[in-house]
Amino acid sequence: MPEATISSLLAWLDKCPTPFHVVETAATSLDVNGFVRVNQLGHELPDRGYLAIDGCIVAWRLGTPQGALRIIGAHTDSPNLRVLPQPDIHQFGWSQLAIEIYGGVLLNSWLDRDLGMAGRVIDSNGVSYLYSAPRALARIPQLAIHLDREIGDKGLHLDRHQHMTPVWGSTKQSFFEWVRDTSGVTDVAAFDAHLFDITPASLLGVDQTLIASGRLDNQASCWSAIEALRNAPESEYTSILVLNDHEEVGSNSATGAAGPMLSNIVSCIASQHGLSEGRQFDRLASSWCLSADNAHAIHPNYPERHEPRHAPLINEGPAVKVNGNQRYATSARGLAHIRSIAESNGIPLQTFASRNNVPCGSTIGPITATQLGIEAIDIGIPQLSMHSAREMCGADDPLHMVSLMSAFLQH
């Protein structure tokens, strides 16, 4: 099996400023490894294929009709700032852009950063074209300390609407004209435009043992899952990968985990395998889903925010995420299953649980389990600065995640 490398992860992160670019990059990787793109599900599925719609991609490698399913899920979206359809603001000698805050953005992390722009345009025929401009186009300037003397004592307070409006020039600019010129599409009917920090993904630290990048949550999981699937050997199990959009805002969309894309593929595969309705239910009951979404590593400056017995360390392997209130889907049975896989393959594994007074987030794991009636295991790469414009994780852990996902597909 070709070895996954951190340099390929860094390249992936730089190529993927939006969910649309994640899907395009994933599809390209699958193409060169013999997977066949399908656009409709009314025909026989190829043994190795994928379906891509907007910011979501589902890929599969068919096993035997008797074999169970091994599903890996992750999400393509990250909290960010998105340009509104009528964004042009001209005031006080500044040209600015009206934006919408997407997901749980750590707002202060976006201040005083050089921001690029990427997304897609749709022409009048409904055809989509991707574009990316990774250069310093916009910036959200912080108020000078001389005009906010209390910031040192009372902290930074940002109004999500008033204080997060980026500057992108000093002369009157038309964003619509800019996106038309940048995309090269003259017949633009609508656009998606996402701001992103243009600093490249990089290794960090005197020992180069850390990774710093935007969108590690959750593109490190997307990259790991593609690496595992494209290099997986033939098996009795049917391997399925789903990278959903809109997890950061609840997953309720046609391409989110609460939507039909994964269940449609599962149903089509069951039909192609000639399974009766009862056999389909039996297959799901004997199947597993690995839901991959980054976890909180213990923070050296805020150790009191962590449950001390379940606080993952950097570069000590992925963390299984547990929560009895079903914010994560891992049961004792799932924990035993993934521990057995890790131990038998020599892969380091940790456990994450939140403090009772620090509520945790959620993942696509519980949603997928509910949608399909399949047991799910939540797992993640430990990281710091989650939902920041620039995040950090260990350089070893994505490779450990690839190994764990690869082993999961075979057990």
Any domain includes 202: no
Any domain includes 205: no
Mean pLDDT (whole number) for 123-135:
97
398 and 304: one domain? yes
Mean pLDDT (whole number) for 213-226:
98
Any domain includes 1: no
Cβ-proximal residues to 248 (8 Å cutoff; 6+ apart), any chain: 75, 77, 78, 79, 102, 103, 104
334 and 232: one domain? yes
Classify residue 127 by burial, with Cβ atoms within 10 Å: 0-12, 13-18, 19+: exposed
239 and 383: one domain? yes
pLDDT digits (tens, 9 = 90+) for 358-406: 988 899 999 999 999 999 999 999 999 999 999 999 999 999 999 999 9
Mean pLDDT of the chain: 96
* pLDDT at 163 exceeding the cut of 80: yes
* pLDDT at 316 exceeding the cut of 50: yes
The domain tally of the chain equals 2
Q: Give the domain-ending residue among 171, 197, 223.
A: 197
62 and 112: one domain? no
53 and 116: one domain? no
Rounded CA separation 289/271 (Å): 20
pTM, two decimal places: 0.97
313 and 246: one domain? yes
* pLDDT attached to residue 203: 98
Any domain includes 207: no
26 and 90: one domain? no
Q: Give the domain-ending residue among 169, 197, 225.
A: 197
293 and 256: one domain? yes
Any domain includes 148: yes
pLDDT digits (tens, 9 = 90+) for 324-363: 999 999 999 999 999 999 999 999 999 999 999 998 889 9
pLDDT digits (tens, 9 = 90+) for 43-89: 999 999 999 999 999 999 999 999 999 999 999 999 999 999 999 99
Classify residue 155 by burial, with Cβ atoms within 10 Å: 0-12, 13-18, 19+: exposed
Q: Kindly state the percentage of the chain with pLDDT values over 90.
A: 95
Any domain includes 254: yes
pLDDT digits (tens, 9 = 90+) for 267-303: 999 999 999 999 999 999 999 999 999 999 999 999 9
The gap between the terminal CA atoms of the chain, to the nearest Å, is: 17
Cβ-proximal residues to 55 (8 Å cutoff; 6+ apart), any chain: 18, 19, 20, 22, 23, 76, 77, 245, 246, 255
74 and 87: one domain? no
User: How confident is residue 120, by pLDDT bands cut at 50, 70 and 90?
Assistant: very high
Q: Give the domain-ending residue among 167, 197, 227.
A: 197
Identify the CATH number of the domain in which residue 160 sits: 2.30.250.10
Q: Kindly state the percentage of the chain with pLDDT values over 70.
A: 99
Identify the CATH number of the domain in which residue 17 sits: 3.40.630.10
Tokens representing 381 are 């790469």
* pLDDT attached to residue 1: 44
Provide the residue range defining the domain that includes 364.
6-78+214-408
* pLDDT attached to residue 2: 52
Any domain includes 232: yes
153 and 248: one domain? no
* pLDDT attached to residue 77: 98
User: How confident is residue 153, by pLDDT bands cut at 50, 70 and 90?
Assistant: confident
139 and 223: one domain? no
Cβ-proximal residues to 89 (8 Å cutoff; 6+ apart), any chain: 95, 96, 97, 98, 165
Mean pLDDT (whole number) for 9-23:
98
123 and 247: one domain? no
User: How confident is residue 186, by pLDDT bands cut at 50, 70 and 90?
Assistant: very high
